[in-house]
Amino acid sequence: MIGYAGAPPGAVVALLAFVIALFLLWARELGFKGAWEKFGLQSLSPPLWKQENIDRFKALFVDEQKLVKACTVSVALIALSMLLPRNLVIFVFLAAVALGVFEVYRTTSSAARPGTRIN
């Protein structure tokens, strides 16, 4: 559906937005290092369809709420690209990514100091 609506480049952009959104959702919970290890991209071995790689990819899709949120971001990006000028959509997407990165840093920095006093 996205490939038909947004043309083949739109499908690639939607897939890229899905992966970025899913990574940021996992990073919000686990931190950037934990999300990178959860994705396991540093230890993938060719070919990608080997059973150990498939098992690693299946672990990413266990949390259905994160999966639905990432799909929503991807579809909303394609919908916005049909309604608004492309430059504005890119700006909105980059602003959303920056907000997501800021949120990850904010939540991991406050959770990283267990010995601090609460006022």
Sign of CA dihedral 4, 9, 12, 16: negative
pLDDT single digits (tens) 75-94: 888 888 888 888 888 898 88
Q: What is the distance between the alpha carbons of residues 75 and 114, in angstroms, rounded to a whole number?
A: 38
pTM: 0.74
Q: Tell me: the pLDDT tens digits for 39-58?
A: 776 676 777 677 877 777 77
